Each structure stands twice: as structure tokens, then as C-alpha cells.
Amino acid sequence: MYILKGENRRRICGEMGSLVEETEGQREYDVAETIFVAVGKNVEKSKTTLFWAVHNFPGKMICLLHVHQPTHEPALNGKLAHNKLKQHVVEAPQKLERQKMQELLDEYLLILDHAGAQADTVWIEMDSVENGIVEIIARHSVRWLVMGAAADKYYSKKLVEVKSKKAIFVCQKAPVSCHTWFTCKGCLIYTRIGRKDGSNIEIATLSPPLDSSLLTEKLELLLSESVFRVRSIDVEEDTDVMGGKLRPISLCSEHPNLSNNGVVDSYGSIPLLMDKEEGHQGRVNNETDQQLELSIMDDHNLKQKVFAETVKQWKEENDCMEAICKEMSQRREMEEFLERKKQEIQKVKDQHDEFMKELLMVKGQRPVLESQIAESKCTEKELEEKIISAVELLISFKKKRDDMRMEHGNAIRVLKHLKKSVNGEDVSFPGTEILEFSFMEINNATRNFDPSWKIGEGKYGSVYKGLLRHVHVAIKMLPSYGSQSLLEFENEVEILSRVRHPNLITMIGTCPESRSLVFEYLRNGSLEDRLACKNNTPPLPWQTRTRIASEICSALIFLHSNKPCIPHGNLKPSKVLLDANFVSKLSDSGIYRLIPQRESTAISASLCTKSNPKVASVYMDPKYLENGQVTRESDVYSFGMILLRLLTGRPALGILKDVKCAIETENFNMVLDWSAGDWPLEEAQLLAHSALRCCEKQPLNRLDLVSEIWSVLGPMRDLCIESVSSLGAKEPRRIPSHFVCPIFQEVMKDPLIAADGFTYEGDAIRGWLESGHDTSPMTNLKLEHCSLVPNYALHQAIQEWQHAQY
């Protein structure tokens, strides 16, 4: 057993990583169980070698091998060279260097302590690092050594030999008994295999004997008893042997008379001292040389054989080491994999436990939740019963409200009638009475103002079709901004309701609450739709166009002659509506009176500006666009534009210029709408002249409706009637459906409104009720009451229609 005796070693003692220096005497270690690791001054560079040793030799004692290179101070001259000051100056730096060295070794020991390895240190002070390593190996009989093969920057997968000069020196000079591993960057690069059979191969050369028999005997004894020791083989020696070269082998003589010059050289030549005087000794020497050469050849062959076996053993050990490393790596990977799986399984178990706890908690809460659900169902049932009772109560309140509104309306009408009687006004004519509707009725009639029921929209509001008290009506919703007071609104509505003419649309009622007006609904659309042949409708014949022009002129004359004068203010083809018999009726007559003047002017200015012809209305009087004043002349200008549309059928934009040009060039027939039939050219051209004069820019230059325009339209209307009569094309006018009594199926003379909302002939509904019926003739539902209300608006409309028949 080899014993390691170290001096001045330092160990890691105590707790919490504290370092305590302990100086010991000579301590003994088992060198067979101790791995020596050569470390340098750079901890980072030597750390990989240290970790490799700890990783590959677990449980072994790790001894740090370090060579300290002292710094040499220059010699002091003079008298101080022999005094105590010289000694102090020399020892102080050495003491400081050794202290730094001890700190370096402490740092290495701390690393090993963290890695859990037993550690100690051995160091030597020497100028040459490689010589110091070899010295420590020899002095302490080191069996196992780990050191660096090259710097980390030289590492690559192809690195198979040592590169460091220190490593090469140690590989060559260290005793063969030391097994050395050379690593680089944590990887094994080269292994020098140690042997237990002693020293290097050194064969001693004998001095020339006195006779040949003695030489032969001594040589045989040397060859038979000499022990061949293989020196450390480096990369260069391997190459020389494989190449068939012989390395120089020094053969040292054990004979005491061997001269220092009697050494065999690298190629086996042996210089011998020959005595020229003794010839027989020369012959003996020649024979000895031959025998020695044969011995050298045998030694060379033996060395090759030993080297081959050593290389084979090294390869086997290297393969074995690689297999062990690979197996250990696989084992670590498998252990890591099993650890991960174990953690995953544990995690799944923990989740399973949590889920089971939650499941148990939910199961415990289930009865509580079921009881809450049962209570909720009971509460829901109670709420449903309350809602049903609330709905029934709401229906009864709504019924009472409607009854009270009806009574209120009747009371107001009676009050107005009494007021007029007190003031001495004529109350015998019932035409001024119109119906008042609630906002709820308006909302229900338009289906909550459904956009699909909107039939028009303009600057004075939107128009919806609706079903009000079982009658189809048109509801005009006035704009909400700038609204008048309720009293002013009702006064203006009363004035407009007095204006009755066969060619003016009939106002049925009003809703002061929502500022809306209710008119009769004409299903045949507007004049604009017919002139544009909307929905593939056939063009209007010239006779119908002429009659429509005369009807518009008649209505305008009526409005202008009314007291007070009521100009239309917004006349255009879309405001001329047609009934089932193509009788024209003007809508929105005097609507501007229901909107404050400043708001009406602002609306017109914003919608119709000269700078934006795409939205400007060509039917409006230019003067009206300037000052916002609605006059008779404004209606005359609009009427002239409508006449030109009826004659030509062209769009209004640019129609003035086209007709003027055609008349000036005597090509008026080129602009006439011949799809209306064969126009009487002279009368049509005369009507075109009148239309152009109506569209003069100066209002004073425009024609008068009564004296100048009607004088042209009257004869043309008579001509149309004669033309239609001669062709037998005149068809009897159809009776509007809402003029007919549902019971008698005749035009009503005394229309009365029953509790079901339908209008009946007075004699018919009275006879129905007097015969004991208390249900509606139309719906067969029980009537709420038997009161009858006169429908003055419908009565007036029937009278006007009958007047137009004749």
C-alpha cells in the first residue's frame, strides 16, 4: 500500500461555509483510493477538470495538486546584503504569495465541499510547473492523476491528443505506475495507462570483459534477469513506433568498470575503447557487438509487442469507459424521466384529491341548492300570478282611460259647440268638426312607427300609412323642433279644417299630443310616381293630364281666394295625390302655418340652396329661396313647373331651358311627351307659353290664375271631356270603399261611428241596435256601449265627392 504524506494541508471545517485553517503534521492517506487533480491559478479554467474528477470518481478522496511558482526578488547590493533587512525584504513577498496560494486552494476546497466530496491539498514550490507535478507524483507515489490536456479554446470533437506542453511533459516523464487521465472542457481526451512493474526500460551496457566467455555469460544473465519497464508513451512516441522507427534507448552498465562514454547511441552504435596493442581483444569486441545488436533487435521487437498490447488495452479501457459513461448518462436520463413522471403522477393524484374534495363539497351543497330551486319555483309561480293580475288590472285601467278620453273628447266638442252658440256663430254646418286621437292610437295605427309603413318624408315631417279605427289613413307627423303652443296648434288646425275642396285632401282628425294630422289615404300614389311610370305603370293620357292641371288650378284659386289667404307653399308633383279615378287632390296645403316662420325659413335654406343643385327644389320660387316668404306668386311658379312636367314628361331639372329653346326654334313638338297620345299641338303650345310665363323670375311678370291661366285651361278641359265622350272612353267613377255602409252597401248620407270603431249609415246602425243586438255587425263582439258619434269628416268627404261627380 502506498502512503501519502502531506504537509501544510488545509481542510474545510466548521459550519455555514466558514473556512478554518488547520496546520497538520504528516498525515497518511491510501494513495490507491485518492484521486489527485492538478489545478492552476485560474479557478474557472481548472473547474471543468475538477468537476470531471468528482463526477467520474464518486466517493473517492480528491486531493488538489498545485505547483506554486515563487517570484524571485533581485539581490540587494552594498552593506544591506548581509544584514537582517535583506532577509525581511525577501520573506515578506514570499509570505504574501503563499497566503494568496492558500486562499486559492481554499476556493477550490469550497467548490469540492459544495459538491459533497472529501478533499485535501498537496502543493510544492518550484519554478517549473511540469517538473513540480512529476516531483509530487514521484515523492508521494501517486497512482491516479487527472489534469488538463489543452486549453478549452482548443477543444473539438476531433481532439484525440494532448496539446499542452505541461501535459506532454508529464505524459513522458511521470513514473509508469501513475495512471493519468487528460481532459479538456469536461471531456476525456487521452488516457495514460499506469503499470505496477516499476521503472523505465533501461538496459545497462557491460564494459568489455577479459574473455568472450565472461561477456556471453553476463549478457545472457542480463537478458534473462533484467526487468523491462515501459516508460510513459506520448503521442510522438506512438507515431515513431508505428512508423517503424526506434526511439533512443539508453543502456546503463551495472559493471563498475564501465566508462561514462560507453553508452549505446540511438541507433545501436557502441563506441568502445580498444587497445591497439591487443588484437585479440578487438575480435572479441566485434563478436560482442554482433550479439549486442541481436539483443537490441530482440528488445525492439519486444517493445513493439508490449506497445501493441498497451494500445489494445488502452482502447479496450477507453471503450469500456465510454460505455460506462454512456450507460451512466442513459441512467441519469432515465432517472430524470422517472422523476418527471413521478412528479406528474403526484400532480395528477393531487388534482384527483382536489376534485374529490370539490365533489364531496358539491354533494353536500346539493340538498341546499335543491331547496333553493324549490323556493325559486314557488316564488316564480307567485310572481306569475301577480303579473297576470297586474296585466288584468292594466287592461281594465286602459279601458277606463279610453272611455274617459272618449268622454273627454265628446265633452270638448260639446263645449266648443256651446261656445259657438253663445258667440252667435253658425253651428248648423258640421264640416268644421274633426276627430281628436290619442298618441296611443297613432302609435298603434302605425305599428309603433314601423319604417316599412313610412310612405313619405319631407321638410315638414314624415308621412306614415296607418289603420285607425278600421279605416286606412295617412298620418302626417310634424317636426318637433320649434313647435307652437297647444292653443296655437289647435287654432291653425281648425283654420285648415275649414278649408274644404274636392281637389284638396280631406283632414279626418288630429293628435295635439304628438303634433300629427290624420288625412284620408289615397292608394293610387302621387303625380310624380305616374309621370315617372313607377312600378311599370302606363303613362297618363294627355286628356287625364289636362284634367289634372285644371283641378290643381281650381284648388289653388280656392286657396288663394279664401279668407285668410292660404297659399300652398310646397307645391310639386309629389304633393298631388291621385284617387282610384285619377282625381287629383293637393296634400300639405298650408302646413307651413303649423310651423313657426323662422323654423320654416331655416329648413328651406338648409335643404334648398343655390350652391347645391342636387338637393335644391326646382319647383320653388327663387324669391322664396331668398326671403322665405310664401305668396300666391310662389304657388304660380310651382304650378308653371308642374304644367311643363305634364306636357313633356321630362325631369324638372333643365326643363325650362329645353322648352324655351324648343319654342324659339319652332320645334316644340320635339319636347312634347307623345307617349300621352296625340296632343292638340296648338293648344299644347299655348299651354306651354302660359307655363313659361308662370315661371318668370320676377313675381309681377307671372300670370294670374283666374284671368289668364284658367282661360286657357278651361277650354282645354272641355276639349278633353268631348274627346273622351266621343271615343266612349269615359268610365264611371268607382265609389270609395269607406264611403259605403257595411250594412246597406250604399253611399252613406248620415255616417255614425259605433263603439266598435266602424262607421255605419245612421238608419242602419240604429235599426241594428233597436232590434236587440248588443254586438258589432262587423266583428260580432259585444259592444261596450250603444252610443253613436257623428263622423263629420267622412260626411264632408262624401259630399265633396258627390259634388265632383256632377
CATH number at residue 667: 1.10.510.10
Q: Which of 696, 728, 760 is the last residue of a domain?
A: 728
Nearest to 615 by CA among 599, 629, 604: 604
Q: Dihedral, CA atoms, 385, 388, 390, 393, nearest 10 degrees?
A: -130
684, 580: one domain: yes
7 in a structural domain: no
CB atoms within 10 A of CB 6: 18
Instruction: Assess if residue 234 is contained within a domain.
Output: no
Phi, psi of 545 (to 5 degrees): -65, -40
Bridge partners of 4, per DSSP, are 29
**For helices 165-173 and 129-140, angle between their N-to-C axes, nearest 10 degrees:** 30
Residue 36: predicted pLDDT: 95
Helix %, strand %, coil % of the chain (to 5): 50, 10, 35
Say if residue 521 is exposed, middle or buried (CB neighbours under 10 Å; 0-12, 13-18, 19+).
buried
Judgement on whether residues 709 and 788 belong to the same structural domain of the protein = no
Task: Retrieve residue 461's grid coordinates.
Answer: 315631417
DSSP string, 562-600: SSS----SS-SGGGEEE-TT--EEE-STTGGGGS-HHHH
Q: What is the pLDDT of residue 716?
A: 82
User: 487 in a domain, yes or no?
Assistant: no
Is residue 556 within 8 Å of 545, Cβ to Cβ? no
Same domain flag for 750 and 798: yes
Q: Is residue 228 part of a domain?
A: no
Report the b/e string of 716-745 with b at 16+ CB within 10 A: bbeebeebbeeeeeeeeeebbebbbbbbee
Q: Contact 273/257 with Cβ under 8 angstroms?
A: no
Which residue positions form the known binding site?
A: 476
Is-contact 493 434, C-beta < 8 A? yes
Q: How many whole angstroms separate alpha carbon 637 and alpha carbon 618?
A: 10
Residue at a domain's end among 679, 708, 728: 728
The overall longest dimension of the chain from CA atoms, in Å, is: 193
Bridge partners of 67, per DSSP, are 124
Same domain? 568 vs 654: yes
pLDDT at 44: 87
Q: Is residue 708 part of a domain?
A: yes
Tell whether 1 is covered by a domain. Answer: no
- Cα dihedral value 152, 156, 158, 164, nearest 10: -10
Q: How far apart are CA 555 and CA 548, in angstroms?
A: 11
CB 31 within 8 A of CB 141: yes
Whether residues 661 and 777 fall in one domain? no
| Total residue length of the chain | 806
- pLDDT score recorded for residue 346: 94
Q: CA 729, 581, 735: angle at the middle one, nearest 5?
A: 110
Say if residue 657 is in the same domain as residue 746.
no
Binding residues for ATP, as ranges, are 476
Helix (H, G, I), strand (E, B) or coil at 281: helix
581 with 681, same domain: the answer is yes
Shared domain for 624 and 766, answered yes or no, is no
Residues 754 and 658 in one domain: no
User: What are the residues facing 190 on neighbouring strands?
Assistant: 182
CA gap 158, 41 in Å, rounded: 28
770 with 675, same domain: the answer is no
Give the Cα separation of 478 and 473 in Å (integer). 16
Whole-angstrom distance, CA of residue 175 vs CA of residue 198: 8
Q: How far apart are CA 291 and CA 272, in angstroms?
A: 15
* Cα–Cα distance measured from residue 423 to residue 466, given in angstroms and rounded to the nearest whole number: 37
Q: pLDDT value at position 483?
A: 54
Cell of 587: 296634400
- Cα–Cα–Cα angle for 572, 575, 576, nearest 5°? 95
My answer on whether 545 and 637 are in the same domain is: yes
Contacts for 418 with CB less than 8 Å, ≥ 6 apart = none
Are residues 518 and 438 in contact, defined by beta-carbon separation less than 8 angstroms? no
First to last CA, the chain: 151
Counting the structural domains of the chain, the total is 4
Q: Which among 26, 229, 37, 39 has a CA at the least distance from the CA of 144?
A: 37
- What is the CATH number for 136? 3.40.50.620
Cα–Cα distance between 162 and 151 in angstroms, integer? 10
Q: Do residues 539 and 675 touch, judged by C-beta distance below 8 A?
A: yes
- With respect to residue 670, please indicate whether it lies within any of the assigned structural domains: yes
Domain boundaries, position 719: 522-728
Instruction: Find the DSSP H helices in 266-278.
Output: none
Model pLDDT, residue 356 = 93
| Residues in Cβ contact with 735 at an 8 Å cutoff, skipping those fewer than 6 apart | 747
Q: Are 192 and 175 in contact (CB under 8 A)?
A: no
Domain boundary among 728, 745, 775: 728
Say if 314 falls within a structural domain.
no
Torsion of Cα atoms, 659 then 663 then 665 then 667, to 10°: 80
Are residues 720 and 741 both part of a single domain? no
Question: Running along the chain, 806 residues long, what does each successive block of 10 average in pLDDT?
Answer: 38 33 48 90 89 90 93 54 55 85 92 90 92 92 91 73 89 91 90 67 34 40 36 38 35 35 35 45 72 85 88 89 90 93 93 92 90 92 92 89 77 72 49 75 90 84 87 85 66 78 86 87 88 88 91 89 84 89 84 62 47 59 85 92 92 90 90 89 91 91 88 80 54 71 86 87 89 82 86 82 69
- CB under 8 Å to 580, separation ≥6 — which residues? 523, 524, 733, 734, 736
Going by the DSSP 8-state scheme, the letter that residue 750 receives in this structure is S
Per the structure block, which three cell numbers stand in for 508? 279626418
